[in-house]
Amino acid sequence: MTTASFAQERAWLASRFAADTALYHVADRWPLHGDVSEAQIRAALAAVADRHETLRTGFRVVDGVLTAVVHEHVDLDLEVVDLSARTEEEQREEREAFADRLKHTAFDLSRAPLWRAGLVRLGAGRWRLLFVAHHAVCDTPSLFNLHAEVTEFCAAFEQDRPPRVPRLPLSYGDYARRQRERLGGGELAALADYWRTQLAGLPAAHGLPLDRPRPARRSFAGAELRAELPAGPASALTDAAGRFGATPFELLLAGYAALVHRRSGRDDIAVGVPLTGRDRPELLPLVGTFVNMVVLRLDTSGDPSYAGLVERVRAVWRAARDHQEMPFQTVVEQVAPQRGPGLPPLYQLAFNVTAGEGFGPPSTGAEDDLLLEVSGTTARLEYNTALFGRKTAEGLLADYAAVLTAALADPATPLSRLPAGPGPAGGAAPDPRPGHVPPRTPAEELVARAWADVLGVDRVGVDDDFFAAGGHSLQALRLLARLSSDHRVETTVDAFFSNPTVAGLAAELERHTATRREHRTDPEGETWQ
C-alpha cells in the first residue's frame, strides 16, 4: 500500500458527492482490425494492465489518509457482444446502448480494477473495443496511451513478434511518492504563500444571475449545448495570437472573462482551469491521473479593451502555471474561502480548450455551475440544470460567440461595448439552513465536539451541513479518522458524504455500535465519552 497521489485523492473525494456515477468516469472506444482474435484482445488488455499499476489499483482510507492498494494481478471482466449478424443501423444502436451501460455502471472504489472493457464483434476481422475507467486511475491523455498499447500488443500477438511499447521510466506509485516528497518543506510553503496571496478575499460566488435558487445541497445535474464558432473568430484566432504574443487559449479565455463580466457586472472573476500535470517527459507514457485544477483570478476592472484584458489574462495564466504543483484541495485548505450552502469552494465557473476536433457523447452531469470548453471550431457549454435553464444556456453560448466576433474584429473595443447584456432576472438563493438545534443525544454531542475542533468553530447544530459550514473533503476524512481512533466508533465514508450533518453521522455511529454489540462477547458496555 502507498499513499495516493494528490490527483487520485481529488478524483476519489470529488466522486463521493456526485449522484451521476458517470461524471467521474472516462471512456473511449477503439476499432481493432485484422485477424486478431478475442483471445489475443484479452491477452493485450492483460499485458497493458500488467504494465501499469493504476490498472491494478483500488483504494482504502487508513487513519484518515487515502491509500492506494496495488495488486500484482487483476482478473479481467471483458464482456463480449456479437453484432456481426445485425444491420449497420442495428449495430450502431446496440453498440451505443452497450457503451452507455458500461459508462453508467458504478465502480466500487475499494476494489481493483477500476476499469472495465466491452468488446463488440461487428463482422469478420472487425472489432470495437469499449473502455471505461474511474478518473481516480485514468485521465484523458491516458486514453491515448491505452489505445496505442492495446493496438500494438494485438498486432504483436497477431504477427508473433515482441511488442514495441515504450519503456516506463517509473511507476505511478513512484510518481506519487516523489510528488509528496517534492512538496514537503519549503517548496510547499512558497506555493501556499503564493495562492493565499493570489486568492485572498476572493468573492464566494461568481455573481451570474441564476434562474433558480441555489439548493442547500450541491447538485451535479447537468446538460450541455454545442455550437460552431462563427467563421470570423475561428479563422482570426491564429492571426490574433501572433499579434498579441498570446496563445489561442488565452484569447478564448479572455472572451469568457469578458462574457462573465458583462453578464454579472463583476470585476473580480474566478475561473477553474484543468492542467494535465504531465510536465515531465517520464510521465508521458504512464496510465494514471495527473490532472490538477488551478484557479485563475481575472481582473476586468476599469473597463479595459479586449486587448488589455488579454494581457491581464496572459499574466495570470502564466503565473498560475508556474505554481501549478500545489494540489487544488490543498489550495482550498490554505485559502480557507468563504463558503455558502451548496457552493463549491473558490470557483464555480470552469474553462478548457482541448486538442483535436469535437467532443465525445453529450454530458448528463455537471461538476461546475458552468463549463465552457472549446475544441477546434466547436464550443461546448455544460451547465448545472439545478441553477440554469436551457434558454439561459443558449443565450450565454450565443453571447460568447458574439463577444469573440466583436473583440477579435476590433481588439481596442472596451468591454462595456462588447455585445453581451445582463442575464435574466435571477436571485441569489435564500439561506436554506434551518435554525440552530443543539445536540440532543450522547452520540450527537460526541460528533459535535469533534466537528467543532476540526472546523475551529464554537457552535454546531445537529442539522448543519459539514461542507456548507466551511469544511472540505480532507477535513471530513480527518473527522472520521478522529472518531475512529479517539472514540473507537466507526462509520463509512460513503454514509457521511451522503448525509454530512451531525445528526446523520451520529445516527450512522449508533447503527454501527448497535451492530457491534450484537456480535460482541465482551459484556462491557459501550460509552460515547
26, β-bridge pairs = 133
CA angle 403, 409, 411 (to 5 degrees): 80
8 Å CB contact between 373 and 354 = yes
Quote the pLDDT of residue 408: 92
Q: What is residue 203's predicted lDDT score, i.e. its pLDDT?
A: 93
pLDDT at 23: 86
Per-residue pLDDT in tens (0 to 9) along the chain, 529 residues:
888 999 999 999 888 776 666 889 999 999 998 889 999 999 999 999 999 999 999 999 888 889 999 999 999 889 999 999 999 999 999 999 999 999 999 999 999 999 999 999 999 889 999 999 999 999 999 999 999 999 999 999 999 999 999 999 999 999 999 988 888 767 888 899 999 999 999 999 999 999 999 988 888 889 999 999 887 777 788 888 888 889 999 999 999 999 999 999 999 999 999 999 998 999 999 999 999 999 999 999 999 999 999 999 999 999 999 999 999 989 998 898 877 778 889 999 999 998 766 677 788 889 999 999 999 889 999 999 999 999 999 999 999 999 999 999 999 999 999 987 654 444 444 444 446 788 888 888 888 888 787 777 777 888 877 766 666 666 777 777 777 765 555 566 666 666 678 887 888 777 766 655 555 544 444 444 4
DSSP character string of 474-512: HHHHHHHHHHHHHH-----HHHHHHS-BHHHHHHHHHHH
Domain residue extents for the chain: 2-176, 187-417, 442-519
Measured CA to CA in angstroms, residue 84 lies from 28, 90, 121, 255, 468 at distances of 21, 10, 6, 48, 53
> What is the β-pairing status of strands 349-354 and 370-375?
parallel
Tell me how far apart the alpha carbons of residues 389 and 379 are, in angstroms, rounded to a whole number: 18
Q: How does pLDDT run across 325-383, given as a tens digit for each residue?
A: 999 989 998 898 877 778 889 999 999 998 766 677 788 889 999 999 999 889 999 99
pLDDT of residue 57: 97
pLDDT for 154: 95
Q: What is the pLDDT of residues 317-335, one digit of tens each?
A: 999 999 999 999 899 988 9
**Structural contact between residues 400 and 256, judged by C-beta atoms closer than 8 angstroms:** yes
Q: What is the pLDDT of residue 399?
A: 95
Q: Which residue has the cell 508521458?
A: 284
User: CB burial class (10 A; 0-12, 13-18, 19+) of residue 331?
Assistant: buried
What CATH superfamily classification does 442-519 receive? ACP-like (1.10.1200.10)
User: Grid coordinates representing 373?
Assistant: 470548453
To the nearest 10°, the Cα dihedral for 18, 20, 21, 26? -100
Place of cell 436551457: 390
Backbone angles phi, psi at 68, to 5 degrees: -90, 130
| 3-class secondary-structure state, position 254 | helix
Q: Looking at residue 99, what is its pLDDT?
A: 94
Q: How far apart are CA 154 and CA 529, in angstroms?
A: 61
User: How crowded is residue 49: how many other Cβ atoms within 10 Å of its Cβ?
Assistant: 21
Confidence (pLDDT) at 299: 97
CA–CA gap between residue 417 and residue 306 (Å, rounded): 10
pLDDT at residue 58 in the model: 96
- 187-417 and 442-519 have identical folds: no
Q: Is 37 helix (H, G, I), strand (E, B) or coil?
A: coil
Residues 272 and 209: their CA atoms lie apart, in Å, by: 19
**In which region does residue 137 sit, left (phi positive, over 0), alpha (psi from -120 to 50) or beta (all else)?**
alpha
Length of the chain: 529
- C-alpha 511 chain-centroid distance: 32
Give the SS3 label for residue 516. Answer: helix
- Three-state SS letters, 368-428: CCEEEEEECCEEEEEEECCCCCHHHHHHHHHHHHHHHHHHHHCCCCEHHHCCCCCCCCCCC
| Residue 197 neighbours by CB under 8 Å, 6+ apart | none
Contact criterion met (CB below 8 Å) for 324 and 292: yes
Cell triple for 148: 496505442
What pLDDT, on a 0 to 100 scale, did the predictor assign at position 423? 47
Predicted model pTM: 0.80
Query: According to DSSP H, which parts of 64-139 are helical?
Result: 88-103
Give residue 472's pLDDT.
63
- Give the residue from 475, 478, 487 showing the smallest Cα distance to 512: 487
Domain 2-176, CATH number (from 1.10.340.30, 3.30.450.20, 3.30.559.10, 3.40.50.150) = 3.30.559.10
Instruction: Give the full edge-to-edge strand order of the sheet including 2-3.
Output: 2-3, 65-70, 57-62
From the candidate CATH numbers 3.40.50.720, 3.30.479.30, 3.30.559.30, 3.10.20.10, the one assigned to the domain spanning 187-417: 3.30.559.30
Percent helix, strand and coil across the chain, each to the nearest 5:
45, 20, 40
Per-residue exposure over 195-228, b if at least 16 CB sit within 10 Å of its own CB, e if not:
beebbeebeebbbbbbbeebebebbbbbbbbeee
